[in-house]
Structure 1
Amino acid sequence: MDTIFKRRSVRKYTDAVVSDEQIKQIIKAGMAAPSAKNSQEWIFIVIRDKEIYNAFMSVHPNAFSLNTASAAILVCADLSKEKEPGQGWWIQDCSAAIENMLLEATSMGLGTLWMGVHPKEDRIACMKAACKLPEGIEPLGLVSIGEQTKEYAPIDRYMEEHIYLDAYGTKWDK
C-alpha cells in the first residue's frame, strides 16, 4: 500500500533519461490491468518527440510537465477490439491501465502525471494528428514520465464522510 500513498502528480522532472527498459516495465504494468470481458483493447504509444509535446501543450493548459518530461505514453483504445461496441468499456479499461502505470512508475522511483485527452475534442484531434492514429484508435490519456525533482510525502485522502452503509445518507462509522 505504500506505493499507493506515495503516488503523486508530478509536474517537473530532472533531466535524467527514463530508459526504454523502464518504459517497457511501466507498460507491462498497464497491460496487467483488468479489462471488460478481457478485451485488452489498449494501445500504448511511447512519445519522446518534443514537437508532439509542444502540440499537446498548445491545446492542454496544464500539460507543462511535458517541458521537462523524459518520455510520455499515450494510452489509446483499439475500438475494433471492443466486445460490446459502443458501450464505452474502453474508457474504464484504459483508465485501469493508466493507474497501474502510475503505480509501477512510483514503485520504480519515477514521477508521472496523467493528463486527460478524452473527452476534449481539441485534445483528441491533436493527438490523433500528432501520433498519426488511424480510424478506430481513440486516445484516452497521456502520461508524462520522469525523475521527479523532489520527494513528496505520502498522502492520506481518506474521508469517512464519503462512505455510506447500504444506502446514501446512512453513515458508515468504522
Structure 2
Amino acid sequence: MHAMQYELTLPAGYDMDVIRDRVARKGHLLDGWEGLGLKAYLMRERGTDGSPVNQYAPFYLWNTLRGMNSFLWGGAFQGIPNDFGRPSVRQWTGVAYEVGGAAGSPAPVALRHRQPMPDGVELSAAMEDAVHETARLAGEDGAVLAAAAVDTSRWEVVHFSLWAHDAPKSEGHVFQVLHLSAPGLGRLPRGRHW
C-alpha cells in the first residue's frame, strides 16, 4: 500500500462551492481506476472543525505503484496543475491498514495526523506503535477504516482514518469527505505491512 496526498490551500475568501462543484462533476472519474484502493476527496473550510484555512486535499491509498504512476503521469492528474498550479505531492509507504466496525457505511468525515519520528527513537518500535494506533483507531465507534504510512525522507508517520460520524477528539486535521472513489478498497492488505 502507498499513501499520497496533495494540499491546495486557497484564499480565505475562496468560494468552497467551487471545490464542491468540481468534485460533483469529476469525482466519479476515479471510481474504477485500476490500482487505486481509495481516493477520499477531502476539504477543510476556514472556521469549520477548527480549520484556519480553506483547503482541498485529496488523500489516496494505492494498491499498486503502476496505478499511482498512471494517475500522476498518464494525464488524469494534469487538471490540478492546469487549474491551481502544480502542488507538492506527498507520498508515504504503507505500514498498516485496518477495517473499522462501520465499514461499508458512508464516511462524511476524515481525520489525518502527521507525526514526526523523534531522533533516537528505535524504528521498529515506532512502526509497531503506528500499527497499534491504526488498530486502536479502527476499533473506535464509528470508524470506517484506518491506515498508517511513513515518509522516510522526513521520518514522518501519517495516520489516516474515515468516520461514519464525527471523528473522535484526537490530534490532527478534520476534513469533510466530498466523495469516495474506492475501486480496490477490498484489496488493500489488512494488518501490518512487513
Normalising by structure 1, we get a TM-score of 0.37
Rg larger in 1 or in 2?
A: 1
Greater strand percent: which structure? 2
